[in-house]
Homo-oligomer: A and B are copies of this chain.
Amino acid sequence: MSDISGFWAVVPAGGAGTRLWPLSRAARPKFLLDLTGSGRTLLQATVDRLGPLTGDRVVVVTGVAHSAAVRDQLPDVPAGRVLAEPSPRDSMAAIGLAAAVVEREDPEAVIGSFAADHVIPDVDAFHAVIREAVEVARAGHLVTIGIEPTHPATGFGYIRAGAPLDGAPTALHAVEFVEKPDSERARRYVDSGEFRWNAGMFVVRASTLLDLLARWHPDLAEGVRDIAADPSRLDDVWPGLTRIAIDHAVAEPAAEAGHVVVVPAPFAWDDVGDFASLATLLPGEDEPRVLGDPSDVTALEATGVVVAGSGRRVAVVGLDDVVVVDTPDALLVTTRARAQDVKAVVDLLKEQGRTDLT
How many Å lie between the Cα of A341 and that of B317 in the bound state?
7
- Stoichiometry, copies per complex: 2
From 318 to 358 in chain A, residues with beta carbon under 8 angstroms from any chain B beta carbon are: 318-319, 322, 324, 326, 328-335, 337-338, 341-342, 344-345, 348-349, 354, 357
Q: Which residues of B contact A248 (CB under 8 A)?
A: none
Q: Does A300 contact B (CB under 8 A)?
A: yes
Which of B315, B328, B349 touches A333 (beta carbons < 8 Å)? Answer: B315
Are A298 and B348 closer than 8 Å at their CB atoms? Answer: yes
From 271 to 324 in chain A, residues with beta carbon under 8 angstroms from any chain B beta carbon are: 298, 300-301, 312-319, 322, 324
In the complex, besides A298-B349, A316-B332, A319-B334, 16 extra interface pairs with C-beta distance below 8 angstroms are A22-B313, A22-B315, A298-B345, A300-B344, A300-B348, A312-B329, A314-B330, A314-B333, A315-B332, A317-B333, A317-B338, A318-B335, A318-B338, A318-B341, A319-B338, A324-B331
Are B335 and A315 closer than 8 Å at their CB atoms? Answer: no
Which of B312, B313, B331 touches A313 (beta carbons < 8 Å)? Answer: B331
Which of B317, B329, B341, B357 touches A300 (beta carbons < 8 Å)? Answer: B341
Q: What distance in Å separates the Cβ of A225 from its nearest Cβ neighbour in chain B?
A: 45
Which of B22, B319, B331, B348 touches A335 (beta carbons < 8 Å)? Answer: B319
